[in-house]
Amino acid sequence: MLAAFSEFQLLCALREGPYGVSGVNERLEQRLNRQRAIALPRHSRWYDGRPIMISRNDSALGLFNGDIGIALERNGELRVWFLMPDGAIKSVQPSRLPEHDTAWAMTVHKSQGSEFEHAALILPARSVPLVTRELVYTAITRAKRRLSLYADEQVLSQAIVTRTERRSGLAEIFAGREAP
């Protein structure tokens, strides 16, 4: 099951909103619950099959930002299972985990450094400054074999012509001038 998460991944341009990670994760959980593919508990975030992504390093546990795990109940105990870089499989009690998020979908930013056989990019319904040519390129390069794109044609066109503007001010600082 852990290997399946390297096969397909939903990628969102934004973290919040109906087309962002939070909205997509919530809608997917509700739909999977209605289809009885998962059983959402009333008073807990934890359920059998919940994918999570670590968002804060914990060197004592050997878990780092971007690591993906899946909550699985075995013998009446729910644990989160991780495929480690060396191929080993590690399990951790949910209560011991560092900060994490549900990971049915993840941001393009969080996906950097990962590759998936099939990636699906979901863009917002309206153009926003964060959706740039570079973001779309990054999403495309996460897919090894197949990319699905869910976007309004105008939003995609605007993204392709919008370049990331980098204004660190470093050139001015090194030249002895005041940064903008």
pLDDT at 165 over 90: no
What is the reported pLDDT for 55? 94
Do 38 and 47 meet the contact criterion of CB atoms below 8 Å apart? yes
Residues paired with 71 in a beta bridge:
80
Q: Domains plus CATH for the chain?
A: 3-161 (3.40.50.300)
Neighbouring C-beta atoms of residue 48, cutoff 10 Å: 13
> Can you tell me the mean pLDDT for 137-148?
96
What is the reported pLDDT for 4? 73
Of the candidates 158, 174, 163, which has an alpha carbon nearest to the alpha carbon of residue 125? Answer: 158
What is the reported pLDDT for 180? 57
Do 105 and 24 meet the contact criterion of CB atoms below 8 Å apart? yes
**What are 167-172's contacts with CB under 8 Å, separation 24+?**
none
Q: In the predicted model, what is the mean pLDDT of the chain? A: 91
Do 119 and 145 meet the contact criterion of CB atoms below 8 Å apart? no
Taking the CA of residue 135 as centre, how many other CA atoms within 13 Å lie in the half-sphere pointing to its CB?
29
What is the reported pLDDT for 85? 86
Do 54 and 65 meet the contact criterion of CB atoms below 8 Å apart? yes
What type of residue sits at position 60? A
What is the reported pLDDT for 33? 94
> pLDDT, tens digit, for every residue of 43-70?
889 999 999 999 999 999 999 999 999 9
> Can you tell me the mean pLDDT for 110-119?
92
Confidence of residue 167 (pLDDT cuts 50, 70, 90): low
